[in-house]
Amino acid sequence: MILAAPRTVDRDAPLGVFDSGLGGLTVVRALRDALPAEQIVYLGDTARVPYGTKGSATVIKYALSCAKHLVARGVKALVVACNTASAVAPERLRVELDIPVLAVIEPGARAAVAATRTGRVGVLATAGTIASGAYPRAIAQCSTRADCVGHPAPLLVPLAEEGWTEGEVPRLVVRRYIEPLALAGVDVVLLGCTHYPLLRSVIEDEVRNRIGPHVTVVDSALATAADVSAFLLDRSLDRRPTREGGGVHLIATDVTRSFREVADRFLGTPFGEVELVDL
């Protein structure tokens, strides 16, 4: 039997990241802080957003098309920044693509389990992610002593996209979503959607007020960035520092009138041109 030669990976190749929309730019933001030398190619499937309302087969099909497009651009690894896609697609991507695939659910689950003292972990996420059961499964794999209490928080997505990240309106909405977690007695609240980090300060305030100062808020974007950083460093796939540093190339499948404003908000800094593609 003749074995195929192992795939040679260029450590200076870009890192590929995709999401159903622009929310995954919070993951890119965290990646840039953790790996400032990396070149990142981000694909937002804005023409088919949201994934959370789609069936699993459709989400896997969309995830494959995004992933194959990034692989064709020569990325060295893929980060699935979409929680919905992370719940159903990573194993299929790993089977079909000859490239490392990392996702946001497992790192967030590990960080939450590491932070809990009581074993009671609360998760705020979209309805689709909660319904998938992905976080309870991931948390159970990390610890058989940890219980997961998930609660959908769908209104946080439009609030983040509209820039309503402070004030009475987001505070009242967050308070409503925190109440079930308070009743469950959690000591960790995991932000299981890429939009939610923009509302982190409001969430932390309401968590302290409604549950207590002992509760830890875990950002899955930061946990994912730490996971990706460790993965690349361990395999000597991290890009060597250069004079010009890293950067982000933004690709989208549709561009709306508010696209740049929303993208700037999630990335935390203005970006250059956006490339429009048809998948």
- φ, ψ of residue 271 to 5 degrees: the values are -115, 175
Catalytic residue among 66, 82, 142, 148: 82
Q: How many CA atoms lie within 13 A of 260 on its CB side?
A: 7
142 is catalytic: no
82 is catalytic: yes
Catalytic residue among 66, 142, 148, 193: 193
Neighbours of 14 (CB within 10 A): 22
In Å, what is the CA distance from 76 to each residue of 13, 67, 231, 238, 275? 6, 12, 12, 10, 20
Distance CA 84, CA 128 (A): 7
Whole-angstrom Cα Rg for the chain = 18
Distance CA 150, CA 202 (A): 19
**Active-site residue numbers?**
82, 193
